[in-house]
């Protein structure tokens, strides 16, 4: 059973990322805060007796469900369906080669020719915006897999899809981000 301190530390460690994820999904800061609060309370109410190791996956599942509940309440099911359908049609990057774009991998984030004129804060903002532009399922998979550091199986369980779908979503998200950032003159 997680103690008060363990639960508090866990919530503290995920709350900002959770809020950002909710903002990406609903594009409304206040609604995202409500969703995060709802998620925290649901977790505490129903799963406070679970060991600390189980909390991250439970939290991510509850956050996804709370976000879906928000969409249902807002009666924007059509928007969700549209976002989901984007996943089906997106991803054909054609002749774009990620290896070419990411050849210089390994160093810290930097800009290309406009390195001196673009502040790091602006770069972070651009990355933020590009992540927000990803199709919902791709973004969800990308964030769970690489930001929340869930493994493929956990991500699949959280999203309610197969592990193969998670890999596909993640790969497409990475390609889309690399392409978009390359177009803005940013490489990693």
Partner 1 sequence: MNQNDSTYRLAARDAIESRFARSIAACLTESAQTVAPDVAERLRFAREKALETARLARDGAAVHGLGVTSSGAAIAGFRHSRWWLRFASVLPLVALVGGLVLIQDWQNRTQISVAAEVDEALLGDDLPINAYRDPGFSEFLKAPPSE
Binding footprint of partner 1 on the chain (CB under 8 A): 4, 7-8, 11-12, 15-17, 19-20, 29, 33, 36-37, 40-41, 43-46, 48-49, 98-99, 102, 105-106, 109, 123-125, 127-128, 131, 142-143, 145-147, 170-171, 173-175, 177-178, 188
- Quote the least distance from Cβ 57 to partner 1, whole Å: 17
Rounded CA separation 11/56 (Å): 9
Alpha helix segments (H runs only) across the chain: 4-26, 29-47, 55-74, 77-89, 98-101, 120-133, 136-142, 152-159, 163-183
- Quote the least distance from Cβ 180 to partner 1, whole Å: 11
Residues 6+ apart with CB under 8 A from 9: none
- Quote the least distance from Cβ 20 to partner 1, whole Å: 5
Nearest CB to partner 1, comparing residues 12 and 75: 12
Rounded CA separation 159/140 (Å): 8
Residue 31, judged by CB atoms within 10 A of its CB (0-12, 13-18, 19+), counts as: middle
Nearest CB to partner 1, comparing residues 83 and 144: 144
- Quote the least distance from Cβ 79 to partner 1, whole Å: 23
């Amino acid at each position: 059973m997680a103690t008060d301190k363990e639960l508090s530390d866990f919530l503290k460690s995920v709350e900002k990322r959770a809020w950002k994820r909710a903002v990406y999904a609903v594009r409304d800061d206040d609604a995202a805060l409500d969703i995060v609060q709802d998620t925290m309370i649901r977790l505490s109410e129903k799963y406070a007796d679970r060991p600390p190791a189980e909390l991250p996956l439970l939290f991510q599942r509850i956050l996804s469900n709370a976000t879906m509940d928000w969409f249902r309440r807002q009666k924007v099911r059509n928007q969700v369906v549209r976002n989901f359908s984007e996943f089906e049609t997106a991803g054909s990057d054609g002749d774009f080669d990620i290896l070419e774009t990411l050849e210089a991998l390994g160093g810290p984030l930097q800009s290309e020719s406009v390195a001196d004129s673009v502040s790091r804060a602006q770069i972070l903002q651009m990355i933020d915006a590009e992540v927000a532009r990803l199709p919902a399922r791709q973004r969800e998979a990308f964030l769970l897999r690489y930001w929340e550091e869930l493994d493929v199986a956990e991500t699949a369980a959280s999203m309610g899809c197969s592990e193969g779908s998670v890999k596909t979503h993640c790969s497409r998200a990475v390609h889309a981000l690399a392409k978009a950032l390359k177009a803005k003159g940013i490489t990693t």
